[in-house]
Amino acid sequence: MKKGFIFDLDGVITDTAKYHFIAWRDLGTEIGVDVDLKFNEQLKGISRMDSLDRILAHGGKENDFTLDQKEALAAKKNTHYVELLQSLTPADLLPGVKEFLDQASTKGVPCAIASASKNAPFILEKLGVKDQFAGIVDPATLHKGKPDPEIFIKAAELLNIQPEEAVGFEDAQAGIDGIKACNMYAVGVLSGEPLHGADLTCHELTELNMDELLQK
């Protein structure tokens, strides 16, 4: 019997993945690295600085910038990303998310957010669902990013349950790997690329039966 739900944010609750892509692509153009949609898949679930490192390595520019310059580039990307987020409203919740959260609340099943995004509280506020989460892991407190399971273990702690008592929802391979590494039940939310190792996959949360999930 499962006792809590743990959600990734980008690509699961809302489609901010497209804004991350636009912001990285434009930064890439500025520094001469081609960030296309296929390469962008490798940035999903990966922290801001680690994403920049992957982009620089992709363009063979890993030794071209000092740490200060890299921090300035990451800050520039984030400023652009946050500009793109300003237009978010509750209408930007992915299909079935609001209904799923409401149903969880009715059943008394607590929910938490396990996202590498430092913008998560702001995004949840814009989407009008922040109060529906009993906990949001602060990624600044993490030692390792996904695919390390640390963020999912912390999210379970915030809900006062064991990782194996939770269901985790993820759209990124790094996230599915992190969920499985702490023996959590993994629901993969597909958006194009296949996800390996998920216990169950769906295209949107409307396809899921909560009672069946809680019995897993």
Which are the catalytic amino acids? 8, 10
Which 20-59 positions form the footprint of ligand G6P (CB under 6 A)? 20, 43-48, 51
Residue 40 interacts, among Mg ion, ligand G6P, none and using kind-specific CB cut-offs from 5 to 8 Å, with none
24 annotated binding-site participant: yes
Question: What is the rounded CA–CA span in Å between residue 179 and residue 166?
Answer: 10
Residue 150 interacts, among Mg ion, ligand G6P, none and using kind-specific CB cut-offs from 5 to 8 Å, with none
Question: Which listed residue (116, 166, 176, 187) binds ligand G6P by CB under 6 A?
Answer: 116
Residues 99, 104, 110, CA angle at the centre, nearest 5°?
135
- How close are the terminal C-alpha atoms of the chain, in Å? 6
Burial 158-189 (b: 16+ CB within 10 A, else e): bbebebebbbbbbbbbbbbbbbbbbebbbbbb
CB of 177 to Mg ion, least distance (A): 13
Number of residues in contact with ligand G6P under rule CB under 6 A: 15
Task: Point out which residues bind ligand G6P (CB under 6 A).
Answer: 10, 20, 43-48, 51, 78, 115-119
Q: Which residues are annotated as a binding site for substrate?
A: 8-10, 24, 43-48, 51, 77, 115-119, 146
